[in-house]
Chain A
Amino acid sequence: MTGTFELVRLALRRDRLMLPVWIVVITGAVAGTASAIAELYPAMEQRVALGVTIGSTPALQGITGPVFDATSVGGLTAWRATNLAAVLAGLMSILLVTRHTRAEEETGRAELIGSCPVGRHAIPAAAVILAAGANLLLALLLTLALSGQGLPMAGALAFGLAVGGVGWLFAGVAVVAAQLAEHARSANGAAVSVLGLAFLLRASGDAAGIEALSWASPLGWAPRVRAFAGERWWVAGLLVLTGLVLVGLAALPARRRDVGSGLLPARRGPADAAPRLASPQALAWRLQRGGLLGWAAGFAVVGAMLGALATSVGDVVDDNPQLAAILERMGGAGALVDTFLAAEIGILGLVAGGFAVQSALRLQAEEVALRAEPVLAGAVSRREWALSHLVMALGGTAAVLTAGGLAAGSAHGARTGEMAEQVIRLLGAAWVQVPAAWVLAGIAMLLFGLLPRYTALAWAALAAFALLGQLGELLQLDDWIRSLSPFAHLPQVPAQDVSAAPLLWLTAVTVALALVGIAAFQRRDLAGN
Chain B
Amino acid sequence: MPGNPAVLISGLTKTFGHVRALDGLDLTVHTGEIHGFLGPNGAGKTTTLRILLGLLRADSGHAELLGGHPWRDAVELHRRLAYVPGDVVLWPTLSGGETIDLLGRLRGGLDQRRKKALLERFDLDPTKKGHAYSKGNRQKVALVAALSSNVELLLLDEPTAGLDPLMEAVFRECVTEERGNGRTVLLSSHILAEVEALCDRVTIVRDGRAVESGTLAQLRHLTRTSVAAELDRIPELPGVHELMVDGSHVRFEVDADQLGETLRILTESGVRGLTCRPPTLEELFLRHYRSAP
Interface residue ranges, A against B (CB under 8 Å): 108, 182-183, 260-261, 266-274, 277-280, 283, 286-287, 290, 369-371, 373-381, 523, 525-526, 528-529
Contact = CB atoms under 8 A, between A and B. Distances in A.
A286 B126 CA distance: 18
Given A182-B131, A266-B129, A526 B108 contact: no
A303 to B, nearest CB: 28
Interface in B89-126: 89-103, 105-108, 112, 126
B249 interface: no
B131 A526 contact: no
A378 B79 CA distance: 7
Interface in B68-97: 74-76, 78-79, 82-83, 85, 87, 89-97
Given A268-B129, A525-B56, A377 B98 contact: no
B92 A183 contact: yes
Nearest to A282: B102
Nearest to A267: B129
A375 B105 CA distance: 10
Contacts of A526: 50, 55-56
Contacts of A266: 128-129, 131-132
Contact of B83 (A269, A273, A371, A374): A374
Contact of A525 (B55, B78, B100): B55
Nearest to B95: A269
A147 to B, nearest CB: 46
A278 B102 contact: yes
Given A272-B126, A379-B76, A525-B56, 12 more contacts: A266-B132, A269-B95, A269-B128, A272-B98, A272-B112, A273-B100, A273-B101, A273-B102, A279-B105, A283-B91, A286-B94, A378-B103
B77 to A, nearest CB: 8
Nearest to A182: B92
A278 B105 contact: yes
B145 to A, nearest CB: 8
Given A269-B129, A525-B57, A379 B107 contact: yes
B40 to A, nearest CB: 16
Contacts of B108: 379
Counting contact residues on chain B (CB < 8 A from A), the size range is 35 or more
Contacts of B92: 182-183
25 contacts: A266-B131, A268-B128, A268-B129, A269-B95, A273-B97, A273-B98, A273-B101, A273-B102, A277-B101, A278-B106, A279-B105, A283-B91, A283-B102, A286-B94, A290-B93, A369-B89, A373-B85, A374-B106, A377-B78, A379-B106, A379-B107, A380-B78, A380-B106, A525-B55, A525-B57
A261 B129 CA distance: 11
Contacts of A373: 53, 55, 85
Contacts of A287: 91, 93
Contacts of A374: 83, 85, 103, 106, 142
Nearest to B119: A271
B150 interface: no
Given A278-B105, A525-B57, A268 B89 contact: no
A157 B91 CA distance: 47
A505 B264 CA distance: 90
Interface string B123-141: 0001111011000000000
Contacts of B128: 266, 268-269
B264 to A, nearest CB: 54
B105 to A, nearest CB: 4
B46 interface: yes
A441 B79 CA distance: 31
B128 to A, nearest CB: 7
B102 A381 contact: no
Given A270-B98, A273-B97, A273-B101, A529 B131 contact: no
Nearest to B53: A377
Interface centre among A280, A283, A528, A529 (most CB of B within 10 A): A528
Contacts of A376: 53-55, 74
B214 to A, nearest CB: 29
B269 to A, nearest CB: 54
A462 B56 CA distance: 32
B89 A371 contact: yes
A523 B132 CA distance: 35
Nearest to A380: B106
B78 A260 contact: no
A377 B104 CA distance: 11
Contacts of A277: 98, 101-102, 105
B78 A371 contact: no
A375 B83 CA distance: 10
B103 to A, nearest CB: 6
A267 B92 CA distance: 11
Considering the complex of A and B, which 3 residue pairs feature the smallest CB-CB distances, nearest first? A269-B95, A378-B106, A273-B101
A440 B96 CA distance: 34
Contacts of A280: 106
A528 B131 contact: no
A286 B105 CA distance: 15
B100 to A, nearest CB: 8
Contacts of A270: 95, 97-98, 127
Contacts of B47: 528
Contacts of A371: 89-91
A321 B96 CA distance: 67
A183 B94 CA distance: 13
A271 B78 contact: no
A108 B131 CA distance: 12
Contacts of B91: 283, 287, 371
B291 to A, nearest CB: 30
B69 to A, nearest CB: 14
Contact of A271 (B54, B76, B95): B95
A378 B98 contact: no
Contacts of B131: 182, 260-261, 266
A379 B98 contact: no
B55 A380 contact: no
B94 A269 contact: yes
A375 B78 CA distance: 10
Nearest to A107: B89
B95 A377 contact: no
Nearest to A383: B75
Nearest to B128: A268
Contacts of A523: 57
A271 B132 CA distance: 14
B12 to A, nearest CB: 14
A371 B138 CA distance: 12
Contact of B127 (A271, A286, A290): A271
A272 B97 contact: yes
Contacts of B101: 272-273, 277
A261 B108 CA distance: 32
Contacts of B79: 379
A271 B89 contact: no
A347 B92 CA distance: 33
A183 B93 CA distance: 10
Contacts of B112: 272
Nearest to B47: A528
A34 B146 CA distance: 63
A376 B56 CA distance: 11
Contacts of A369: 89
A371 B90 CA distance: 7
Interface centre among A261, A269, A370 (most CB of B within 10 A): A269
Nearest to B131: A261
